[in-house]
Chain A
Amino acid sequence: MPLLEIENLSVTFPSQTSDLYAVDGVSLTLERGDVLGIVGESGSGKSVAMLAVMGLVAFPGQVTADRLTFEGRDLLRLSDNERRALTGKDVAMIFQEPTTSLNPSFTIGYQLAETLILHEKMDRKAARRRTIELLDQVGIPAPEGRLDAYPHQLSGGMNQRVMIAMAIACNPKLLIADEPTTALDVTIQAQILDLLLSLQRDRGMALILITHNMGVVADTTARVAVMYAGQIMEERSTESLFGSPQHPYTAALLAARPEASDGGRLATIPGVVPGAYDRPRGCLFAPRCAYATPHAAECRPELRPWQNGLIRCHYPLGDTTRDERIAADRRAAPPAAAPEVA
C-alpha cells in the first residue's frame, strides 16, 4: 500500500466573478521513504496542494479529490479529531519563512514541547529532555541554552532548524518541506538541505521537497513533479527529467537555469502564469508554448503515462511523430486562430 495517494486533487478559491483553480486535478503517489521534488514557478499551486494534504487549506478554499489517502486511510472521510491526530505526528510540514512561522510570544522550548505533549502524551519534564535531544539532532549547538530563547533571538537558519526539529519530533512518516531554504542565505541553504536529507535517510521517512529551484531538485530528489498553473505537467525520475525533458515547459524551465546558460543571455519563458480570469480552455501552457497548435489551445491534454513517467502534453518532445502532428494540426485550422483564451 502506498504511503500517500492523491488522485485528481483540486483546490478552488471561490470568488464573485470566477473561481480560482489554485490546484487543478493533481495526482501523485508516494511510497514509504520516497523523496519527491515538486517544482514550478511561484503561483503554480505547489503550496496549496500540500496544504490540502495537511488539511490546512483555509476557508473559503474548497478541497475535492477522487482519492486522498495516507496509509490507506481516506483523509477526506476522517473526523476532525482523527485528522488532527495525524497532522503534526505522521505527516509534518515546514514552511518558507522560518522566523514568522514560529510564534513570537513563546519560547522555542515551549513550542517544541507542545507537539510532544500533544501527540506523545509526554509530561513536561520528559518533553523538555526530548526537546534538547531534538535540537541537538538538528545541529543546534548548546541546545539547553536555547530552550528559553524566543524566535526573534535566533537567526533564520537556526529558526528553520527549530522548525525541522518540531516537524520530526513525533517521527513522521512523511515530511513536506515547502521551499525550506528560499528565505535563507545561500551559505545556509545547503546546510539545511543536507540536514533534511540526512534526517530522511536515517529515519527512512518520505520527503516532499517543494522548490522553484531546479538546481536544488537535481541534487536532492529521486523523482520530480513539475507543476504549472495548478496542474502537474510532467513527472518522472530526476535523472531522466534532467537528461531528456519531455514537456516543453520542463525544457523551458531547465533552459532558464543559470547553470544552463552558455555565458550569454539567460533564457526566459515569455508570458506569465494564467490567473483566475485568463485560464485557457485547452492546454494551460499553450499561450506560452513554442509548439502550441489550435488543437492544443482547444483541447486540454490528460496526464498520461509516457516513457516511465507521466506527462500532460499533446506533443511530448521525445515523440517521433510530433513534428508531423504539429504541422498537421496547424494546417487543419489556419493560423488565423491565435491561441485562444477562455
Chain B
Amino acid sequence: MVRFIFTRLSLVVPTFIGITLIVFVLVRLIPGDPIETMAGERGIDPARLAQLRHEYGFDQPVFVQYLYYLGRLFQGDLGRSIVTHEAVITEFKALFPATVELAVCSIIFALCLGLPAGIIAAVRRNSIFDHGVMGASLTGYSMPIFWWGLLLILLFSVQLGFTPVSGRISVMFYVESVTGFLLVDTLLVGDYDAFRSALAHLILPTIVLGTRPLAVIARMTRSSMLEVLGEDYIRTARAKGLPAYRVIAVHALRNALIPVVTVIGLQVGVLFTGAILTETIFSWPGVGKWLIEGINRRDYPVLQGGTLIIGAIIMIINLLVDVTYGLINPRIRYQR
C-alpha cells in the first residue's frame, strides 16, 4: 500500500509540469493580453502600453516568461492577480470553500439518489421503475448544464418564486467566516434564518451540478449490481437463509460498490468543470466563477495558479479514491 502511494506520488511532478506548460501556452493563445484588456474600449497610449508590458515582462519571449514562472513556482510563489494585485493563493483560499460546499452537496445529492435508484433498478430489472431510472439518467446525462440551470431558474425562481436566483446567501445576513462553509458557519453562530437562506441558495446549483454525477452513479450502480446479483456467492448467501435485504445490502452491495467508487472518483474532475458553468449561471462566488472572470480579463497568473491548484486537488482526490478502492476490495490489498 505504502509503495503503491509512492508510485502514484512520483507521477505527480511530471503531471504538474505538464499542466503548467499547457496552461501557460493556452492562456497566451487567447487574443489580447491583460494590459490591453484592462485598458478596454478607450484604448491606451502606445508608450504607456509598452512600458506596462515591460514591467510585467510580457515583452520577453514566451519561453523566457515560462522559465521565470517555473522558477517562482518552485519557490512556492503562484504570483499575484494582475487585476486585483492580490496573491493568487489568497484569492483562491477565500473562494474555494464556496466551491467545495457546492461540490460536496452535489456529490451527496447524487449519491443519496443515485445509489438507491441504481440498486432498486437492478433488483427490479425490466420493471417500470428500472426503465424510468434508465431513461431519466440518460436524459440527465445529456442535459447541457447551461440549459438545465436556466430551465430550473425559470421554473423555481422566476415562476414559482421558491428559491433565490443567485448568490450564496441573502445580503441581509452577515456571517463571520470560520470554516468558509456557510451551512456550517451559520449553524456555529446559531443563526437559523441565515442557515435557511444559505440552504435555499444551495438547492438549485446543487441539483444542476449534481445531475450528471447522479446519472452516472445510478447507471453504474445498476449495471454493477446486476452483474454481482448473478454471482455464485449471492446464491450462497440466499442458501444460508439470509433475508433479501441482507443479501442485497451486504453481500451484493459491498462488491457492487467497488467499480462505483472508481466512477465517483472520476466524477470529481467532471464536478470542477461543471462547477465553472454552474457558478457562472448562479453567480456563485467560487473558484469556477473566478476562473471565468480570469479568462475575461486575461488574468494570466489567476488562470495559471487556479488551474494548477485544481489539478493538484483532483490528483489528490483520485489518489484517495484509489486507496479507498484498495480498502474495500481485499483482493487488491494483498497484491501490492
CA–CA, A87 and B243, complex, Å: 11
Q: Least Cβ distance of B207 to chain A in Å?
A: 33
Interface-lining segment among A37-45, A92-100, A301-309: A92-100
Cross-chain contact A101 with B331 (CB below 8 angstroms):
no
Q: Least Cβ distance of A101 to chain B in Å?
A: 4
Flag whether B241 is at the interface (Cβ < 8 A).
yes
Cross-chain contact A106 with B241 (CB below 8 angstroms):
no
Chain A minimum-CB-distance residue to B333? A150
Flag whether A89 is at the interface (Cβ < 8 A).
yes
Flag whether A188 is at the interface (Cβ < 8 A).
no
Interface-lining segment among B9-17, B25-33, B229-237, B283-291: B229-237
* Number of residues from A at the complex interface, CB < 8 A: 29
Cross-chain contact A88 with B232 (CB below 8 angstroms):
no
Flag whether B223 is at the interface (Cβ < 8 A).
no
CA–CA, A341 and B236, complex, Å: 38
Which A residues from 65 to 110 make CB contacts under 8 A with B?
Answer: 84-89, 92-93, 95, 97, 100-106
CA–CA, A150 and B255, complex, Å: 14
Q: Which residues of chain A are within 8 angstroms of B242 by Cβ–Cβ distance?
A: 84, 88, 114, 118
Flag whether A195 is at the interface (Cβ < 8 A).
no
Q: Which residues of chain A are within 8 angstroms of B238 by Cβ–Cβ distance?
A: 56, 87
Chain A minimum-CB-distance residue to B256? A105
With contacts A104-B330, A152-B331 taken as known, whether A87 is within 8 angstroms of B255 at the C-beta atoms is: no
Flag whether B240 is at the interface (Cβ < 8 A).
yes
Flag whether A211 is at the interface (Cβ < 8 A).
no
> Of B231, B241, B254, B329, which is within 8 A of A118 by CB?
B241
Cross-chain contact A150 with B240 (CB below 8 angstroms):
no
Flag whether B334 is at the interface (Cβ < 8 A).
yes
Flag whether B251 is at the interface (Cβ < 8 A).
yes
Q: Least Cβ distance of A47 to chain B in Å?
A: 10
> Of B231, B237, B329, which is within 8 A of A100 by CB?
B231
Which A residues from 160 to 207 make CB contacts under 8 A with B?
Answer: 163, 166
Flag whether B136 is at the interface (Cβ < 8 A).
no
> Of B232, B243, B251, B331, which is within 8 A of A97 by CB?
B232
Contact flags A116-154 to B (C-beta < 8 A → 1, else 0)? 001100000000000000000000000000000010110
Cross-chain contact A88 with B255 (CB below 8 angstroms):
no
Q: Which residues of chain B are within 8 angstroms of A92 by Cβ–Cβ distance?
A: 239
With contacts A103-B233, A104-B233 taken as known, whether A87 is within 8 angstroms of B330 at the C-beta atoms is: no
Flag whether A115 is at the interface (Cβ < 8 A).
yes
Q: Which residues of chain A are within 8 angstroms of B236 by Cβ–Cβ distance?
A: 95, 101-103, 163, 166
CA–CA, A150 and B241, complex, Å: 22
Chain A minimum-CB-distance residue to B229? A58
With contacts A93-B239, A103-B255 taken as known, whether A150 is within 8 angstroms of B331 at the C-beta atoms is: yes
Q: Which residues of chain A are within 8 angstroms of B251 by Cβ–Cβ distance?
A: 103, 106
Q: Least Cβ distance of A327 to chain B in Å?
A: 49
Flag whether A54 is at the interface (Cβ < 8 A).
yes
With contacts A56-B235, A100-B232, A100-B233 taken as known, whether A105 is within 8 angstroms of B330 at the C-beta atoms is: yes
CA–CA, A166 and B235, complex, Å: 14
Q: Which residues of chain B are within 8 angstroms of A118 by Cβ–Cβ distance?
A: 240-242
Q: Which residues of chain A are within 8 angstroms of B235 by Cβ–Cβ distance?
A: 51, 56, 95, 101
Of A92, A105, A152, A163, most B-chain CB atoms within 10 Å? A105
Chain A minimum-CB-distance residue to B237? A103
With contacts A87-B241, A88-B240, A118-B241 taken as known, whether A104 is within 8 angstroms of B232 at the C-beta atoms is: no
Q: Least Cβ distance of A297 to chain B in Å?
A: 37
With contacts A54-B239, A166-B240 taken as known, whether A150 is within 8 angstroms of B330 at the C-beta atoms is: yes
Cross-chain contact A106 with B254 (CB below 8 angstroms):
yes
CA–CA, A56 and B251, complex, Å: 16
Q: Least Cβ distance of A46 to chain B in Å?
A: 15
Cross-chain contact A105 with B241 (CB below 8 angstroms):
no
Q: Which residues of chain A are within 8 angstroms of B237 by Cβ–Cβ distance?
A: 103
With contacts A56-B235, A95-B232, A152-B331 taken as known, whether A104 is within 8 angstroms of B240 at the C-beta atoms is: no
Chain A minimum-CB-distance residue to B254? A105
CA–CA, A237 and B255, complex, Å: 45
Cross-chain contact B240 with A114 (CB below 8 angstroms):
yes
CA–CA, A3 and B72, complex, Å: 84
Cross-chain contact B240 with A102 (CB below 8 angstroms):
no
Q: Which residues of chain A are within 8 angstroms of B329 by Cβ–Cβ distance?
A: 105
Flag whether B328 is at the interface (Cβ < 8 A).
yes
Of B231, B241, B251, most A-chain CB atoms within 10 Å? B241
Of A85, A89, A101, most B-chain CB atoms within 10 Å? A101
Chain B minimum-CB-distance residue to A167? B239
Q: Which residues of chain A are within 8 angstroms of B240 by Cβ–Cβ distance?
A: 87-88, 114-115, 118, 166
A104-B233, A166-B236 given; name 16 further pairs at CB < 8 Å.
A84-B241, A84-B242, A87-B241, A88-B239, A88-B241, A95-B232, A95-B235, A101-B233, A104-B330, A106-B254, A114-B240, A114-B242, A115-B240, A118-B240, A150-B330, A163-B236
A contact residues vs B (CB 8 Å cutoff): 51, 54, 56, 84-89, 92-93, 95, 97, 100-106, 114-115, 118-119, 150, 152-153, 163, 166
B contact residues vs A (CB 8 Å cutoff): 231-233, 235-243, 251, 254-255, 328-331, 334
What 4 pairs across the A-B complex have the smallest Cβ distances? A88-B241, A88-B240, A87-B241, A100-B232
17 contacts between A and B (CB under 8 A): A51-B235, A54-B239, A84-B243, A87-B238, A87-B240, A88-B240, A88-B242, A101-B235, A101-B236, A102-B233, A104-B331, A105-B254, A105-B329, A114-B242, A118-B240, A166-B236, A166-B240
